[in-house]
Amino acid sequence: MSISSLITRANYITDYYKEFRYKQLLTDSRKLAIPHDTIFFAIKGQRHDGHNFIKKLYDKGVRYFIIEDEEAALRNFKNAQEAEGAQLLLVKNSIRALQELAAHHRKQFKLPVIGITGSNGKTIIKEWLSELLADSFQIIKSPKSYNSQIGVPLSVWELSEEHTLAIFEAGISQPHEMEYLEPIIQPNIGIFTNLGSAHDEGFKDRLEKATEKAKLFENCKYLISRDIYSAVNTAILHLKERKGDPHFFGWTTQDVSIYPSAVDMRYLDPNVGGVNVGLYDPHTNQKLNFYLPFSNPAHVENCLHCIVTMLLFEYKEKEIQEKINKLKAVEMRLELKQGIFNCSLIDDTYNNDFGGLQVALDFLLQQSNKPKRTVILSDMPEENQKGLYEKIFQLCAKKGVGRVIAIGENIKRTLLPDTETLIDVKFFTTTEDFLGDFADGDIRFGNEAILIKGARKFEFEKIVEALELKVHGTKLEINLNSLAHNLDYFRSLISPRTRIMAMVKAFGYGSGSNFEIAHLLQYHRVDYLAVAYVDEGIALRNEGIRTPIMVMNPSIDSFEKMYVHKLEPEIYSVATLKRYVEYAKEKAYHLNLAEFGADIKDVFKIHLKLDTGMNRLGFATSDLPILLSLIKAVGESLEVASVFTHLAAADDNQMDDFSSQQIKEFEEWAAELEQQLGYSFLRHAVNSAGIIRFKNAHFEMVRLGLGLYGIDSSKKAQEYLLPISSLKATISQIKVVHPNESIGYSRKGKVERISKIATIAIGYADGYDRRFGNGVGKVYLHGELAPTIGNICMDMCMVDVTEIEDAKEGDEVIIFGEYPTVTDLANTIGTIPYEILTNVSERVKRIFYAD
């Protein structure tokens, strides 16, 4: 049998619909759950080609593959026998095939489908609506923010007979994308959330963006939208001209004629921790009054979209109010918390549905720094679905979960398949039963990662409360998604063949522990990590990091430790090279003796640093002859893995001539070395600013540091990066101080009027520099900046909050984050962002989260 006989050309993927109907669709090979039930879509991405993972998936038991590149797919197998039973369906475009299949699936069902698009608020509106409407419908919704060209079909694929309402979100970043999403979602109710600056760069102007987004509503019977976005209004008018008159439920603060059933909304009383609004019922034209328990304008807007949707479904005023009262400003994020007994907790107590569970389990897997994994799970809202809980237990087992604590009357009735799953399941009827057993010591935890995921009424926040390690006050929050976003941005700047070495030295530029960050980078397939010291490298290995690691400052007595932990030294001087060569020669000899003729050879990889003008560490040109003779003396067991240099002023355009000279010199050195050694190695020269500013010097690898953490010191690309960390502290006490009094040490703080002074729990020992004292530094709270007053103390400092009426004890204040930024702080005291970040002291609690 020839190998190409494995391939079937599939002109119409929908011909396979019946066969595929109950299987899982997979586009990311890392997220494989149930192999024999999976159809893998091999997609060619910018950096990764899904076709490269076919063999790996085949070996795990996957048999169905949708491919678009015949040659790339066949490269996985040597012959037809090796691929026995595999079905490779060749299509023109794998993403389109996935979309066509999902669109066909959608056509099988008749039900209300809410399609949400807009710049902000999509996910929160979806989550809120699904909670508000939960009593009346069996709801399916997109998990988290699955709203892309791939996320949408994957979400819609989960639609099945028992659902009575669907809520899907759609996001686009370029023209024409919505044309593919509309037929997959086929919404009959549309919500246009709002229009902001997100993805502006992909469109000619706001009107084009609004018009593209509005394509989601081509076939909607009802459309909900707000009137203050003029581009949205125009886009909707165009849609109306083309499509006749869908029923518009706009809510308005003005009186705009395109909203025939406009609800007249007025903010009445925005001063009581929420707002009162009056609006008219679009069915009866009766005036209704609501109190919205939010003061944040974005939440108010999102909530109004929800209210109008409920009015559409003919909910009554009182019922709506009751349900709104229970809404919380949702934490849309999976939070990684430190637990007691050396556990880590993933707090996902808001969401509970199958799609969300899959996302959370992947997060659990990604944070695999604990040997054991436990899931605490409640009844699910979609529980009419046949075999749902069986499917869940199976999924948990596949994702390496060792124990499930299942709470709820319904989940308790699940019959466990006894042999297949090696999973320990404990059932409880209520959250209180579980907490009781936990308090009595009948159920224990230790050194494990715990995912806590439950429907709202189970109040799993009580479980989080019981298991969380209590540390007070000052904290540094780190957004792992923003980090991934920044990594993607830098990837878009380099060629797909160029590798990335991510700098995680100094505890990930002050992020605290670099485990979480290293796990994320490993998950996103970064090629190398670099740390400053051997101990940092060992700690990463102990946490299960397998990515190659370079150590920049290896001490000569640590070679053995490095060998054991597979760490690769940077060698920068003849003296260290001599010591390392001696070590390697001896070690290689012993290894060969011990291996009794085995032909396994250990290779000692080193990275050579050349000094081309930084005058810090590195070989000088005159070292070249001795360098070569030393390396050659060891023979094959010593390998130069890379050769690199560091630019002294990559971020400064005044110094570009100097930088170019460095690059040129480096290139010549590297060429000479390559010729003399007789093999090639990776060359790397640029840091974050260099990646942005010296596109001709990326060579085979780049070293990404500060940019990953959201800061561009060259300022050219700052707008494309997201800040990843936010330093927060709380107000411990507020005092009224009179003009004849003083504040703090040396009586430096003085006021000229009766003032309200807040003491906040952060001082120079936490990394808040003393230079921020006496009004130089400003902290952010209640939407305003408050200046420091008096000297900064060791553990606390004082700020003047006279102007901020709402400020009260216990309030959170932001030292840096989205605003003010790390760069703002650095500028005010004349230092650089690197120093501000790495100064945040170890005692400040770190919180990692993904949103």
Among 155, 687, 714, 726, binds ligand PLP (CB under 6 A): 687
CA distance 453 to 595: 50
Q: Does 837 bind ligand PLP (CB under 6 A)?
A: no
Q: Is 265 annotated as a binding residue?
A: no
Q: Does 33 bind ligand PLP (CB under 6 A)?
A: no
Q: Which is nearer to ligand PLP, 572 or 849 (CB)?
A: 572
Q: Is 616 annotated as a binding residue?
A: yes
Q: Does 728 bind ligand PLP (CB under 6 A)?
A: no
Q: Which of 344-352, 541-549, 700-708, 794-802 is the region at the interface with ligand PLP (rule: CB under 6 A)?
A: 700-708
Q: Please count the other Cβ atoms lying within 10 Å of the Cβ belonging to residue 794.
A: 11
Which sign does the torsion angle of CA 823, 828, 829, 830 carry?
positive
- Name beta bridge partners: 348: 453
Question: How long, in residues, is the chain?
Answer: 851
Q: Could you tell me which residues come within 8 angstroms of residue 87 by beta carbon, excluding any fewer than 6 positions away?
A: 6, 8, 63, 64, 65
Interface residues for ligand PLP in 482-511 (CB under 6 A)?
503
CA distance 123 to 130: 11
Q: Does 547 bind ligand PLP (CB under 6 A)?
A: no
Q: Does 225 bind ligand PLP (CB under 6 A)?
A: no
Q: Does 645 bind ligand PLP (CB under 6 A)?
A: no
Q: Which of 536-544, 672-680, 686-694, 798-806 is the region at the interface with ligand PLP (rule: CB under 6 A)?
A: 686-694
Q: Does 714 bind ligand PLP (CB under 6 A)?
A: no
- Name beta bridge partners: 405: 376, 426
Q: Could you tell me which residues come within 8 angstroms of residue 475 by beta carbon, excluding any fewer than 6 positions away?
A: 727, 728, 729, 844, 845, 846, 847
Cα Rg of the chain (Å, integer): 30
- Name beta bridge partners: 756: 736
Q: Which is nearer to ligand PLP, 395 or 483 (CB)?
A: 483
Q: Could you tell me which residues come within 8 angstroms of residue 557 by beta carbon, excluding any fewer than 6 positions away?
A: none
Q: Is 75 helix (H, G, I), strand (E, B) or coil?
A: coil
CB of 851 to ligand PLP, least distance (A): 24
Angle, helices 206-214/230-243, rounded to nearest 10 degrees: 40
Q: Could you tell me which residues come within 8 angstroms of residue 633 by beta carbon, excluding any fewer than 6 positions away?
A: 581, 585
CA distance 574 to 619: 7
Q: Which is nearer to ligand PLP, 449 or 689 (CB)?
A: 689
Q: Which of 236-244, 414-422, 561-569, 681-689 is the region at the interface with ligand PLP (rule: CB under 6 A)?
A: 681-689
CB of 814 to ligand PLP, least distance (A): 24
Q: Which is nearer to ligand PLP, 261 or 687 (CB)?
A: 687
**303 touches 290 (CB < 8 A):** no
Q: Does 726 bind ligand PLP (CB under 6 A)?
A: no
The string of DSSP codes covering 87-122 is: EEEE-S-HHHHHHHHHHHHHHT--S-EEEEESSS-H
Q: Which of 167-175, 371-379, 452-460, 687-695 is the region at the interface with ligand PLP (rule: CB under 6 A)?
A: 687-695
CA distance 253 to 631: 76
Tell me the site size for ligand PLP, rule CB under 6 A.
Answer: 10
Q: Which of 143-151, 682-690, 772-780, 795-803 is the region at the interface with ligand PLP (rule: CB under 6 A)?
A: 682-690
Q: Does 517 bind ligand PLP (CB under 6 A)?
A: no
Q: Please count the other Cβ atoms lying within 10 Å of the Cβ belonging to residue 610.
A: 26
Q: Which residue has the tokens 């899959």?
A: 358
Environment class of 795 (CB within 10 Å of its CB; exposed 0-12, middle 13-18, buried 19+):
middle
Q: Which of 417-425, 533-541, 684-692, 805-813 is the region at the interface with ligand PLP (rule: CB under 6 A)?
A: 684-692
- Active-site positions read 505, 745
Residue among 571, 565, 501 nearest 537 (CA): 565
Q: Which is nearer to ligand PLP, 351 or 482 (CB)?
A: 482
Q: Does 50 bind ligand PLP (CB under 6 A)?
A: no
Among 211, 688, 725, 774, binds ligand PLP (CB under 6 A): 688
Number of separate helices (H) and strands (E) present in the chain? 26, 39
CB of 526 to ligand PLP, least distance (A): 13
User: For the window 582-621, what string marks contact with ligand PLP as x by the rule CB under 6 A?
Assistant: ----------------------------------------
Among 337, 403, 453, 646, binds ligand PLP (CB under 6 A): 646
Among 67, 91, 216, 706, binds ligand PLP (CB under 6 A): 706
CA distance 660 to 55: 44
CB of 690 to ligand PLP, least distance (A): 8
Q: Does 683 bind ligand PLP (CB under 6 A)?
A: no
Q: Does 519 bind ligand PLP (CB under 6 A)?
A: no
Comparing every residue's Cβ against ligand PLP, the nearest one is 705
Residues tagged in the binding site annotation:
616, 794
- Per CB under 6 A, residues contacting ligand PLP are 503, 646, 687-689, 703-707
Residues tagged in the binding site annotation for substrate:
616, 794
